């Protein structure tokens, strides 16, 4: 059975971009271990030769023309931004 | 006439068309009921001005004649649906202050049919939960009460279920990824439909697990569900998984009876430790359908046991990807940054502050099962098991089974807080009878069928063939009529 240790929990939190305080990592590791333990039941199933499902309905996705149908509304697009300046989304400095 | 807010959609439609009732009076009765129901915490963003504006417009249409069935019908809209200019935050702190510039296809269809939006309904955060205890707005309380305890209305569409059961609205939209319409419907003595995957457009509905999510109606009767579902579904070019199929007249399909229909009873749904009351209700339900002329057939769905673990790999995997968009840049909450914090700290702090514990847990589980080295062992294996679960259903439908009868939930509504300290897996078990339906993309409906010995509602679930919502609703109405469930929660709020 997979055991999530605190190092793995720290790594998963980092990949998920969620800040988890160091003292909470052992609890998190325990919860993740229990949930993954529950999923281990899937190992009992013989899945030899079975295709992984990609679409639950046997329909082909519709194609459409690759054309611009809407646009030129930067104000509406930026309206909900926590920080928008001069027609752009603003973020902390990325490149030194 | 009874208080307008207690009417069924069908009765209100008829009264509105005859002009025995105005949409404004009906809407005002609901708004007053909402005002008096703060203790339930179901409506979290009431929109009385929008409601009365739309009610006045509906009255104009009704007076002109030829108004659609939903014209003037007051509804609650789950907070997961984006509604133009109105807070839409999936009950999450991370979408605090978000007011979409657009309207979801389903709510737009209802709006265009003349339905009246009363406001936004509480839910579990990002639809992740089975008790409505993960919401940033606080718990929803079930209008059903049998002792001092405050009971859960179920989740994630708990606000929708509570509002419909308490007569705050005539119907509500819900969404169902693993049971989020059917479980709360069963906990509140209401009807909830999860349509075939692709029936309702997902455009503008805040995504949880895109291959499983479906919107559906929550109502007080099967007939109302048929009327409301018809207004909600239909092809939408903006959702590539939306089915380009004609939408039948679901209400017209009611009343056909079940003579000669084959109803399957899956033996794998007889779970260890299932309360005898649920077992009894299930056999009674089968008996009712047999008495109505259906043939009851024992069937096997051998991979049932693996549905829940497969779901709890696939749904978090998709959620971890869908929820990556909440980064504090384009909408909602952004954490206050410390001196020297860069963009990574902004993401990490924003998401830690914005997501509640259950959402964080599922995003991290999803991240883990999709990470290098585990993708095959968890995610791909779960998708293969999903194929097998779907094949189980295809095999029984190929044998001529028209619909499948199961319990809707493994228990009646439980107390708020009772599972808070339990293992998260305990909460997940609520979905044990419903989750297979999402994995197989099938339509399912929860119908109130009786009360347990404490006096709390219990529901049965019917599962139909793909795209056969019409047949499913017809069978559900036979069950509804035979069960004769008429109980209502006594008003304490």
Instruction: Write the pLDDT tens digit of every residue in B177-191.
Output: 999 999 999 999 999
Does A31 sit within 8 Å of B310, measured CB to CB? no
Query: B135, B157, B180, B320: which one is catalytic?
Result: B180
Rounded Cα distance between B218 and B457, Å, is 15
Chain B residues within an 8 Å CB radius of A89 = 329-330
- Long-range contact pairs involving B283-289 (C-beta distance under 8 Å, separation at least 24): B284/B449, B284/B450, B284/B483, B285/B405, B285/B449, B285/B460, B285/B479, B285/B483, B286/B405, B288/B478, B288/B479, B288/B482, B288/B483, B289/B258, B289/B261, B289/B263, B289/B405, B289/B475, B289/B478, B289/B479, B289/B482
Chain B interface includes A20 (CB < 8 A)? yes
Q: Give the pTM.
A: 0.97
B230 touches chain A (CB under 8 A): no
The fraction of chain B above a pLDDT of 90, given in percent, is 96
Could you tell me if the ipTM is greater than 0.85? yes
Query: In 3-state terms, what secondary structure has residue B298?
Result: strand
Q: What is the pLDDT of residue B423?
A: 81
Residues B105-144: tens digit of each pLDDT:
999 999 999 999 999 999 999 999 999 999 999 999 999 9
Residues in chain B: 493
**Res. B260 pLDDT band, cuts 50 70 90:** very high
Which residue does chain A place closest to B367, by CA atoms? A16
Is 90 exceeded by the pLDDT of residue A3?
A: no
Using DSSP's 3-state secondary structure scheme, residue B151 falls into strand
- Please report the pLDDT score of residue B271 as a whole number: 85
Question: Could A38 and B309 be called an inter-chain contact, meaning their C-beta atoms sit closer than 8 Å?
Answer: yes
Predicted local confidence at residue B422, as pLDDT: 83
What's the pLDDT at B427?
86
The answer, yes or no, to whether residue B1 has pLDDT greater than 70, is: no
How confident is residue B293, by pLDDT bands cut at 50, 70 and 90? very high
- CA diameter of chain A: 58
Mutate to test the interface with A, among B326, B365, B371 (most CBs of A within 10 A): B365
Can B180 be counted among the known catalytic residues? yes
Between positions 341 and 360 of B, the ones with CB within 8 A of A are 341-349, 351-352, 355, 360
Q: Indicate yes or no: CB of B310 within 8 angstroms of CB of A42.
A: yes
Cα dihedral B485, B264, B434, B473 in deg (nearest 10):
-50
The answer, yes or no, to whether residue B156 has pLDDT greater than 70, is yes
What band does A1 get if pLDDT is binned at 50, 70 and 90?
Answer: low
Note whether A17 contacts B: Cβ–Cβ < 8 A: yes
B321 noted as active-site residue:
no
Q: Which of B156, B160, B242, B320 is catalytic?
A: B156
Closest CA to B222 of B488, B14, B474, B5: B474
Interhelix angle B357-370/B343-354, rounded to 10 degrees, is 130
Q: Is B78 a catalytic residue?
A: yes
Q: Do B327 and A17 touch (CB under 8 A)?
A: yes
Q: How far apart are CA B370 and CA B384, in angstroms?
A: 15
Q: Is B384 on the interface with A (CB under 8 A)?
A: yes
CA distance A44 to B46: 49
**Chain A residues closer than 8 Å to B348 by CB:** 14, 17-19
Return mean pLDDT, chain A.
93
A95 inside 8 A of chain B by CB: no
Q: Do A34 and B423 touch (CB under 8 A)?
A: yes
* A67 touching B (Cβ < 8 Å): no
B87 contacts chain A (CB < 8 A): no
Whether residue B425 lies within 8 A of chain A, CB to CB, comes out as yes
Minimal C-alpha gap between B369 and chain A (Å) = 9
Selected residue of A36, A45, A47, A55 to mutate for chain B interface (largest B Cβ count, 10 A):
A45
CB atoms B241 and A57 under 8 Å: yes
Which residues between 145 and 164 in chain B have a beta carbon less than 8 angstroms from any beta carbon of chain A?
A: none
Q: For residue B388, list chain A residues with Cβ-Cβ distance below 8 A.
A: 45, 47, 50
B322-333 pLDDT, tens digit each: 999 999 999 999
């Amino acid at each position: 059975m997979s055991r999530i240790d605190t190092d793995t929990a720290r790594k998963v939190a980092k990949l998920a971009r969620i800040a988890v305080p160091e003292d909470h990592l052992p609890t998190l590791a325990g919860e993740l271990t229990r949930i993954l333990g529950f999923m281990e039941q899937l190992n009992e199933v013989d899945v030899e030769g079975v295709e992984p499902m990609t679409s639950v309905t046997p329909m082909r996705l519709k194609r459409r023309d690759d054309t611009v149908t809407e646009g030129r509304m930067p104000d509406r697009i930026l309206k909900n931004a926590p920080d928008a300046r001069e027609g752009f989304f603003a973020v902390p400095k990325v490149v030194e | 006439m009874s208080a307008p807010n207690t009417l069924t959609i069908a009765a209100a439609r008829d009264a509105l068309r005859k002009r025995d009732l105005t949409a404004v009076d009906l809407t005002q009765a609901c708004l007053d009921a909402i005002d008096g129901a703060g203790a339930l915490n179901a409506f979290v963003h009431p929109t009385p001005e929008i409601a009365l504006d739309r009610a006045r417009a509906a009255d104009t249409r009704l007076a002109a004649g030829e108004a659609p069935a939903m014209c003037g019908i007051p509804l609650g809209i789950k907070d997961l649906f984006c509604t133009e200019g109105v807070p839409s935050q999936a009950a999450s702190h991370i979408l605090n202050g978000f007011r979409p510039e657009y309207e979801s296809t389903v709510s737009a269809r209802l709006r265009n049919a003349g339905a009246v939006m009363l406001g936004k309904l509480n839910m579990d955060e990002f639809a992740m939960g089975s008790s409505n205890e993960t919401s940033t707005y606080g718990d929803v309380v079930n209008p059903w009460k049998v002792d001092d305890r405050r009971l859960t209305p179920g989740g994630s569409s708990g606000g929708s279920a509570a509002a419909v059961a308490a007569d705050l609205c005539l119907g509500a939209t819900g969404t169902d990824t693993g049971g989020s319409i059917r479980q709360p419907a069963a906990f509140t003595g209401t009807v909830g439909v999860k349509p075939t995957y692709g029936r309702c457009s997902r455009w503008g509905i805040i995504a949880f697990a895109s291959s499983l999510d479906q919107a559906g109606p929550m109502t007080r009767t099967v007939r109302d569900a048929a009327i409301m579902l018809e207004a909600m579904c239909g092809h939408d070019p903006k959702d590539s998984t939306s089915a380009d199929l004609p939408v039948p007249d679901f209400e017209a399909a009611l009343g056909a009876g079940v003579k000669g229909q084959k109803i399957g009873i899956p033996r794998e749904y007889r779970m260890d430790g299932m309360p005898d009351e649920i077992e009894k209700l299930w056999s009674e339900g089968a008996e009712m359908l047999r008495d109505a002329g259906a043939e009851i057939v024992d069937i096997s769905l051998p991979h049932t046991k693996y549905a829940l673990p497969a779901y709890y790999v696939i749904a978090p995997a998709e959620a971890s990807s869908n929820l990556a968009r909440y980064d504090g840049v384009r909408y909602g909450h952004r954490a206050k940054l410390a001196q020297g914090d860069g963009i990574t700290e902004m993401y990490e702090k924003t998401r830690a502050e914005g997501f509640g514990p259950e959402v964080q847990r599922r995003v991290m589980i999803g991240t883990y099962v999709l990470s290098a080295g585990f993708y095959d062992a968890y995610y791909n294996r779960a998708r293969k098991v999903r194929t097998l679960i779907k094949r189980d259903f295809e095999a029984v439908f190929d044998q001529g089974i028209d619909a499948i009868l199961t319990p809707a939930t493994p228990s009646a509504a439980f107390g708020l807080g009772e599972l808070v300290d339990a293992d998260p897996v305990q909460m997940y078990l609520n979905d044990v009878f419903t989750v297979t339906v999402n994995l197989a993309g099938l339509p399912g409906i929860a119908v109130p069928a009786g009360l347990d010995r404490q006096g709390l509602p219990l529901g049965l679930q019917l599962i139909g063939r793909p795209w056969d919502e019409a047949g499913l609703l017809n069978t559900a109405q036979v069950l509804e009529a035979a069960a004769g469930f008429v109980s209502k929660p006594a008003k304490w709020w």
